[in-house]
């Protein structure tokens, strides 16, 4: 984690949802390619931070990068792949902060928030959950350090009730070597309901999402466009890619897998991926 960093500005955002009993905070951010500071509103001792699923306002391929995670907040920006100019316009994202550890929802489902330190690049490292889940959880994972500047994205595969494989991907033309970074994850059993006034749903798609796009309908009924986090649960295609979205509405959202063009011009991601998602709306 970079020390001594002062963010250039504070991220624009709507009022975050801070839950009084579940150690969780979530909110929407408007970010661009400049580092921005996000002040955490709730009380956390050892927060785990995930920001995954980048809005699709600008077409240049990019990922979300995070650093300087502390009980006070974190820094976040859009980072384009290294072959581009790394100047990116404003995009919408949702952040999820949770206290490190294992937490149970009132309805009985479990959530685990933790971290993995890895240098696995174009490769995977296994991570076991602290306890076995009853149902295979949806996992969201973000690289939360910048120990090396090269653009990198966290990828997942083979998630089950006991653990998952996680690794990093640089752009296709790179040597696929990267120094150790911290990857934060939140694993959440599929469920929906209302917790402390936050209406939410967590689920996953079938292996059906490619570069062609996919309309994801929400099972829960929302009054307005909800907060939305999404991450690929599989690594069916070997090319570097990230998840993008557009058209977020109360009923659903359009999502697609976006590859980059550092090695060649094609951006087809024909091997369909399963996408995990978290949607939420504060009801207070």
Asked whether the beta carbons of 48 and 97 are under 8 A apart, the reply is yes
Kindly indicate the confidence band of residue 2, based on its pLDDT and cuts at 50, 70 and 90. very low
Q: Is pLDDT of 143 > 80? A: yes
Q: Whole-prediction pTM value?
A: 0.94
> How many Å apart are CA 232 and CA 52, to the nearest integer?
9
pLDDT band at 122 (very low <50, low <70, confident <90, very high): very high
Contact 90, 31 (CB under 8 A): yes
d(CA 230, CA 42): 23
Contacts for 89 with CB less than 8 Å, ≥ 6 apart: 32, 57, 58
Task: Give the distance, in angstroms, between the CA of residue 197 and the centroid of all CA atoms in the same chain.
Answer: 23
Span 112-136, average pLDDT: 98
Q: How confident is the model at residue 18 (pLDDT cuts 50, 70, 90)?
A: confident
For residue 8, pLDDT over 60 is answered with no
Closest to 76 (Cα-Cα) out of 65, 87, 68 = 65
Sign for the CA dihedral angle at 240, 170, 57, 17 comes to positive
Return the pLDDT at 4: 27
- pLDDT interval class at 5 (50, 70, 90): very low
d(C-alpha 168, C-alpha 200), whole Å: 29
Going by their DSSP bridges, the two strands 227-232 and 62-70 should be labelled as unpaired
Span 252-260, average pLDDT: 97
User: Does the structure show a pLDDT above 70 at 284?
Assistant: no
**Per-residue confidence band for 21, with pLDDT thresholds at 50, 70 and 90:** confident
The C-alpha atoms of residue 231 and residue 196 are separated, in whole angstroms, by 25
pLDDT of residue 9: 58
d(CA 100, CA 48) in angstroms, rounded, equals 6
Query: What pLDDT shows up at residue 7?
Result: 35
- pLDDT tens-digit profile of 206-242? 999 999 999 999 988 899 999 999 999 999 988 999 9
For residue 148, the model assigns a pLDDT of 97
What pLDDT shows up at residue 237? 80
Mean pLDDT, the chain, rounded, equals 93
SS3 251: coil
Distance CA(40)–CA(200), nearest Å, equals: 20
Q: Where are the domains of the chain?
A: 1-284
């Amino acid at each position: 984690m970079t020390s001594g960093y002062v963010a250039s500005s504070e991220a624009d955002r709507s009022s975050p949802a801070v839950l009084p009993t579940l150690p969780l905070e979530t909110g929407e951010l408007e970010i661009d390619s400049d580092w921005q500071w996000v002040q955490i509103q709730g009380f956390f001792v050892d927060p785990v931070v995930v920001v995954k699923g980048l809005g699709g306002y600008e077409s240049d391929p990019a990922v979300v990068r995070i650093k300087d995670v502390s009980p006070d907040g974190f820094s976040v920006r859009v980072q384009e792949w290294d072959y581009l100019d790394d100047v990116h316009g404003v995009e919408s994202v949702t952040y999820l902060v949770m206290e490190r550890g294992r937490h149970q929802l009132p309805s009985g489902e479990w959530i685990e928030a933790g971290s993995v330190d890895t240098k696995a690049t174009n490769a995977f490292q296994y991570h076991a959950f602290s306890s076995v889940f009853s149902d295979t959880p949806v996992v969201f994972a973000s690289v939360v350090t910048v120990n090396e500047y090269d653009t990198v994205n966290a990828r997942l595969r083979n998630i089950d009730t006991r653990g998952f494989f996680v690794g990093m991907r640089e752009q296709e033309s790179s040597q696929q070597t990267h120094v150790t970074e911290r990857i934060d994850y939140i694993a959440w059993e599929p469920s929906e309901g209302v917790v402390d006034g936050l209406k939410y749903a967590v689920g996953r798609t079938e292996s059906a999402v490619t570069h062609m796009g996919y309309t994801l309908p929400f099972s829960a009924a929302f009054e307005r466009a909800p907060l939305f986090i999404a991450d690929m649960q599989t690594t069916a295609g070997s090319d570097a890619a990230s998840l993008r979205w557009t058209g977020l509405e109360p009923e659903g959202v359009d999502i697609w897998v976006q590859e980059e063009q550092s090695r060649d011009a094609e951006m087809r991601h024909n091997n369909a991926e399963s996408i995990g998602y978290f949607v939420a709306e504060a009801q207070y």
